[in-house]
Structure 1
Amino acid sequence: MQAVVLAAGEGTRLRPLTEDRPKAMVEVDGKPILTHCLEQLVTLGADDLFIVVGYLKEVIIKHYGDSFEGIPITYCHQREAKGLAHALLTVEEHIDDDFMLILGDNVFEANLADVVRRQAEDRADAAFLVEEVPYEEASRYGVCNTNDYGEIVAVMEKPEDPPTNLVMTGFYTFTPAIFHACHLVQPSNRGEYELSDAVNLLIQSGRTIDAIRMKGWRIDVGYPEDRDEAERRLREPTEGATAEADGAGSSEE
């Protein structure tokens, strides 16, 4: 399966850590967040890697070159920071089948393999790793509504008053149908082309999106204290890491 990492962000809330590097290159436990993402994708069976770059892109390109652990890398340039749907369209010409998508500012020790397995077995139009967070934190993320079958029926991007506390975590699988939806998206109130709006267009067109509950943990590294928390967790054995190892061994990121 092909794999895409969105790593174009500047990371203004992480300054001064991002004054000379993109957000995805901030180190967590001795290596960049982006390396953690790529390691996960290779473990999950990625056979092509596509990294969307933007802010200080040369730092990423120089660091990784043309491959990672033997898997070829293609760099796609998002010239303006116009949102995740806009970023995803930079890889459209390279994707010809189902693919994994990971946000390059997240550190995971979780059951990502369950998402890939669901995509492969059910031939769903998409599958998302989701988690429940405290209600006061839900407004930081894309919030999901699900039906009784565990399918996502609506997504709201960073709502001021979240209707649920179930949020997208930053790991997804899609079919190429997502690109058509991204082309149809209009700028949001934030002036960005939101991935959540593209997802809602998929749902409205009758596509099926499965929600996979997270086992383990993930940290969205948005602030320096998030980086510190990710480092602390990576240095401690977790049930999520064991679950991921067991799942990967039975199915094969």
Structure 2
Amino acid sequence: MKALVLAGGKGTRLRPLTHTSAKQLVPVANKPVLYYGLEAIRDAGIRECGIVVGDTGAEIRAAVGDGARFGLEVTYIEQPAPLGLAHCVLIAGDFLAGDPFVMYLGDNFLVGGIGGLVEAFTREACDARILLTRVAEPQYYGIAELGPGGEIRALQEKPEHPRSDLAIVGVYAFSPAVHRAVREIRPSARGELEITDAIQWLIENGHTVRSHMVSGYWKDTGRLQDILECNRMVLERVEPGVAGTVDRLSEITGRVVVEPGAVVENSVLRGPVVVGADAKIISSYVGPFTSIGAGCVLQNAEIEYSIVLDGSSVDGVSRIAHSLIGRNVEVSRAAGVSNTHELMVGDHSRIQVKV
């Protein structure tokens, strides 16, 4: 069995961060979301992995390499434009070469792995097995309608009146029958070849399509609140350990990781928290569910429930929360007139200022 990982797309919901970075490489607990997916594929016993890349292909290649660090053999497949998930299957035909495969969306975060899905797919003969989870607002998702035996009868894409609360998670297992399906369908109204249309084609043409429920936790990490929630979930399970330097004036409580080279001086860290390699935390408070990236500097600052990416600094700013700060960003207190805010903000940004 092979794996096909989709790591293209533009990540418009995470702009401006994704103007300069692949959305699949946004870190959760200081590790890119994509890495969790690759590890899940390896843990399911799969070794051959194709990765579909687009505009951010060079960054994905640099981050993943040949896949050896994950126990995988990686082949890169270029998608010239974001033409849909089914189009990814279409252009990966030579790599897949008639083998069954798992398709995994690289910006999905799944706790519990995909071993159960792979085992069920190989145990019971079917042409597709689709991972599902129950959601509170099914009108915002692709939805599956099931028959009495767990077979999928029909799919709806973001329906106004959903016929179930079972959302389609971005992980699928397919037999080679899907290759004909992606050739037979036509682009949707948005100009893409939709994988839901390909699965519907399989159903309507007598192929067996079964469901598999998520056993753990799933999030599509396309929005800020989803990234922060995934960060919280991982940090709740982190094994504490101090490999850096913490002085005697500092206070550490709860699950806290201080990576090698990091320095903590005269500060309070209340876990769960991860402080990246070579970061400096000086006279600051770092509250629960916060990840500080490698090489960051926090001085006279307060932050909680947030993610700070590599190389950024926060100086003299109190009570930052529910925030995602990109790479090599400078956040500092403005001098001069009180209650005056000095901002340099890029396109598609979101700023909330308390007045």
TM-score after normalising by structure 1: 0.89
Which amino acid is the alignment partner of residue 131 of structure 1?
A: T
1:133 corresponds, among 135, 146, 164, to 135
Give aligned pairs, total. 236
| Greater displacement, 108-117 / 224-233 | 108-117
Q: Relative contact order (alpha carbons < 8 A, sep ≥ 6): 1 or 2 greater?
A: 1
- Paired with 1:29 and 1:88, the residues of 2 have a C-alpha distance of 31
1:214-233 counterparts in 2 under 5 A? Answer: 214-233=214-233
Identity %: 37
- Paired with 1:158 and 1:92, the residues of 2 have a C-alpha distance of 28
Give the Å deviation of 1:160: 3.1
Give the Å deviation of 1:161: 2.8
Which amino acid is the alignment partner of residue 73 of structure 1?
A: V
Which residue number corresponds to residue 76 of structure 1? 77
Give the Å deviation of 1:141: 2.0
Which residue number corresponds to residue 120 of structure 1? 122
**Cα distance change of structure 1 residues 201 and 210 upon mapping to structure 2, 3 Å threshold:** same
Give the Å deviation of 1:237: 4.2
Which residue number corresponds to residue 7 of structure 1? 7
Contact 1:33 1:106 in 2 (8 A): yes
Contact 2:37 2:106 in 1 (8 A): yes
1:147-162 counterparts in 2 under 5 A? Answer: 147-162=147-162
Which amino acid is the alignment partner of residue 71 of structure 1?
A: L
Contact 1:105 1:222 in 2 (8 A): yes
Which amino acid is the alignment partner of residue 148 of structure 2?
A: D
Contact 2:44 2:113 in 1 (8 A): no
Which amino acid is the alignment partner of residue 72 of structure 1?
A: E
Structure 2 unmatched runs, 5+ = 239-355
Give the Å deviation of 1:139: 2.7
Give me the CA root mean square deviation. 1.5
| Greater displacement, 81-90 / 61-70 | 61-70
Q: Does 1:24 align with 2:51?
A: no
- Paired with 1:79 and 1:111, the residues of 2 have a C-alpha distance of 30
Equivalent position SS for 1:161: coil
Larger radius of gyration: 2
Deviations 1:70-98 (A, max 9, x none): 32100011111111111221211111211
Give the Å deviation of 1:111: 5.4
Give the Å deviation of 1:28: 1.4
Equivalent position SS for 1:139: helix
Which amino acid is the alignment partner of residue 174 of structure 1?
A: F
Give the Å deviation of 1:145: 0.6
- Paired with 1:132 and 1:235, the residues of 2 have a C-alpha distance of 24
Deviations 1:191-232 (A, max 9, x none): 211100000000111111111112211110111111000010
Equivalent position SS for 1:160: coil
- Paired with 1:31 and 1:124, the residues of 2 have a C-alpha distance of 35
Give the Å deviation of 1:140: 2.7
- Paired with 1:108 and 1:235, the residues of 2 have a C-alpha distance of 14
Contact 1:155 1:200 in 2 (8 A): yes
Contact 2:41 2:114 in 1 (8 A): no
